[in-house]
């Protein structure tokens, strides 16, 4: 039987960030990933936004790790030539009621320690973004866009050059608790299976993190670890509008998402999304019939948008803990020794702002294990 000091399940951006943090500290790590490369699911199917930390309750992990991750991620990009752009973001208000909501977001973001926030008047909004409709806005100067593929590629290279391993096309099929840790059953595409023993197991399995926790032996219903997958689609805005907007443009947030926003990509391309709806089946199809929803949302703040400008782009699925109708749910990042599982750390429900928070999450996990 093969043995490893630390095994991480999942090579999304969070699993890779955790792996890199551990490797940097001299630990030997194996990352198990069922897909044929890194970040094939949630990590590569999002807006690629570096968030500032505006929306989340002040004492939550989402708030703390987003604000810390924002700083750490920009530093990481600067030090390692990972492409990004600090484009800034404007949350646009279209009515007096929405102005009040934006002021609440400003208050929450300020309490969270988010930097570079200020209200802007209608005239300043028009000066910054003449093609945007709105009565006023909240400018977040520290919001930006990162090349997630290059970020994850950096992490992959960093991990493997330190003689740690990322095992792609490797599916976890079973976990047995042993005296010294955990014995993992792992299956490969050719049908060959092998066992791997580890003293430390870190569950970064994204959309399947609850299933992995259950496989290990935890009662996920009792612990509140069961996911409610929430899908989000994007529609591409015609290239003829490239250059008409420079900031990320957001509406006021809803209870389950940040709203259909305008993403300005690193190359200047524009897309609208994501919407948000709970699903039972995990697929990445984009329903062309949703174009009307996107158009009606977009035309509220984009003065140039025509229905024919929109075409289906991509979709992603959020590993959401919050069930329909429920209130805010925070990240779960937990050392499970209190539940009888020494050496096990579960990361459950790492949705947005998980990308931004990834470097801070990695530091948090390291401290859980070794401080």
Residue 293 has pLDDT above 70, yes or no: yes
| 254, pLDDT greater than 80 | no
* Mean pLDDT across 291-306: 96
Quick: pLDDT tens for 110-169.
Answer: 999 999 999 999 999 999 999 999 999 999 999 999 999 999 999 999 999 999 999 999
Contacts of 36 (CB under 8 A, 6+ apart): 168, 169
Do the strands 310-318 and 332-335 form a parallel or antiparallel pair, or are they unpaired? Answer: unpaired
Is the pLDDT assigned to residue 18 strictly greater than 80?
yes
The pLDDT value given to residue 256:
59
DSSP 270-281: EEEE---EE-SS
Beta partners for residue 344, in sequence order: 201
Percent of the chain with pLDDT over 90: 93
For residue 167, the model assigns a pLDDT of 97
Question: End-to-end alpha-carbon separation of the chain, Å?
Answer: 30
Nearest to 119 by CA among 100, 134, 136, 97: 136
* Residue ranges, CATH 3.30.9.10, the chain: 87-142+230-318
**Owner of token pair 């970020």:** 151
- 0.85 surpassed by pTM: yes
What confidence tier does 35 reach under pLDDT thresholds 50, 70, 90?
Answer: very high
| Per-residue confidence (pLDDT) for residue 46, from 0 to 100 | 95
pLDDT of residue 344: 98
Check residue 106 and give its pLDDT.
Answer: 97
CB 90 within 8 A of CB 248: yes
Distance CA 247, CA 89 (A): 5
At 190 the pLDDT is 85
List, in sequence order, every beta strand (DSSP E) within the chain.
2-9, 29-32, 49-50, 84-85, 89-93, 117-120, 136-140, 144-146, 165-167, 171-177, 182-187, 193-203, 230-237, 248-250, 261-264, 270-273, 277-278, 310-318, 332-335, 344-348
pLDDT at 267: 93
Task: Write down the residue that tokens 């591409």 correspond to.
Answer: 236
Single out the residue of 67, 33, 49, 4 nearest to residue 206, CA to CA: 33
User: Which residues, 6+ apart, have CB-to-CB distance to 141 below 8 Å?
Assistant: 86, 88, 115, 116, 117, 118
Mean pLDDT for the stretch of residues 354-371? 97
CA distances from 367 to 44, 248, 361, 363 (A): 27, 34, 10, 6
CA distance linking residue 303 with residue 235, whole number of Å: 17
Which tokens go with 132? Answer: 């945007």
Looking at domain 2-45+149-226+327-370, its CATH class is alpha beta
Asked if pLDDT for residue 95 goes beyond 90, the answer is no
Six-digit token string for 136: 């006023």
The first and second tokens of residue 238, run together, are 């015609």
Block residue for tokens 């807006």: 47
Tell me which architecture the domain covering 87-142+230-318 has in CATH.
2-Layer Sandwich (3.30)
Local structure of 139: helix, strand or coil? strand
How many Cβ atoms sit within 10 Å of the Cβ of residue 212? 22
Distance between CA 212 and CA 363 in Å, rounded?
22
| pLDDT reading at 191 higher than 90 | no
| Summary mean pLDDT of the chain | 96
Confidence of residue 217 (pLDDT cuts 50, 70, 90): very high
CB 256, CB 322: distance < 8 Å = yes
Q: What residues does CATH 3.50.50.60 cover in the chain?
A: 2-45+149-226+327-370
DSSP states of 83-106 as a string? Answer: -EE---EEEEE-SHHHHHHHHHHH
What confidence score (pLDDT) does residue 257 get?
A: 67
**317, β-bridge pairs:** 231
Catalogue the E-assigned strands of 204-241.
230-237
């Amino acid at each position: 039987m093969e043995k490893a000091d630390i095994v991480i399940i999942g090579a999304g951006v969070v699993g890779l960030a955790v792996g890199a943090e551990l490797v940097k500290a001299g630990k030997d790590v194996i990352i198990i990933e069922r897909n044929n490369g890194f970040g094939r699911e949630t990590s590569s199917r999002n807006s690629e936004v570096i968030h500032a930390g505006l929306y989340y309750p002040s004492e939550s992990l989402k708030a703390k790790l987003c604000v810390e991750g924002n700083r750490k991620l920009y530093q990481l990009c600067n030090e390692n030539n990972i492409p990004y752009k600090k484009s800034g973001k404007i949350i646009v208000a279209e009515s007096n009621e929405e102005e009040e909501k934006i002021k609440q977001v400003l208050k929450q973001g300020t309490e969270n320690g988010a930097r570079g926030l200020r209200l802007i008047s209608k005239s300043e909004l028009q000066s910054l973004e003449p093609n945007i409709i709105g009565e006023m806005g909240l400018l977040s100067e520290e919001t930006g866009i990162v090349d997630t593929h290059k970020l994850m590629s950096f992490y992959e290279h960093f991990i493997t050059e330190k003689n740690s391993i990322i095992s792609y096309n490797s599916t976890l099929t079973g976990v047995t608790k042993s005296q010294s840790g955990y014995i993992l059953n792992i299956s490969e595409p050719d049908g060959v299976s092998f066992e791997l023993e580890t003293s430390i197991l870190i569950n970064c399995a994204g959309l399947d993190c609850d299933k992995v926790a259950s496989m290990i032996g935890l009662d996920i219903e009792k612990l509140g670890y069961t996911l409610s997958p929430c899908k989000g689609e994007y529609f591409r805005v015609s290239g003829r509008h490239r250059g008409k907007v420079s900031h990320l443009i957001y509406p006021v947030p809803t209870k389950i998402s940040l709203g259909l926003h305008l993403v300005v990509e690193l190359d200047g391309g524009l897309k609208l999304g994501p919407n948000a709806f709970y699903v039972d089946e995990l697929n990445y199809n984009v329903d062309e019939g949703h174009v009307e929803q996107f158009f009606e949302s977009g035309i509220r703040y984009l003065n140039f948008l025509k229905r024919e400008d929109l075409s289906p782009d991509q979709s992603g699925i959020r590993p959401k803990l919050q069930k329909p109708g429920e209130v805010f749910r925070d990240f779960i990042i937990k050392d499970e020794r209190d539940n009888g599982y020494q050496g096990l750390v579960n990361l459950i429900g790492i949705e947005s702002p998980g990308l931004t928070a990834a470097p801070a999450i990695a530091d948090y996990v390291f401290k859980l294990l070794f401080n």
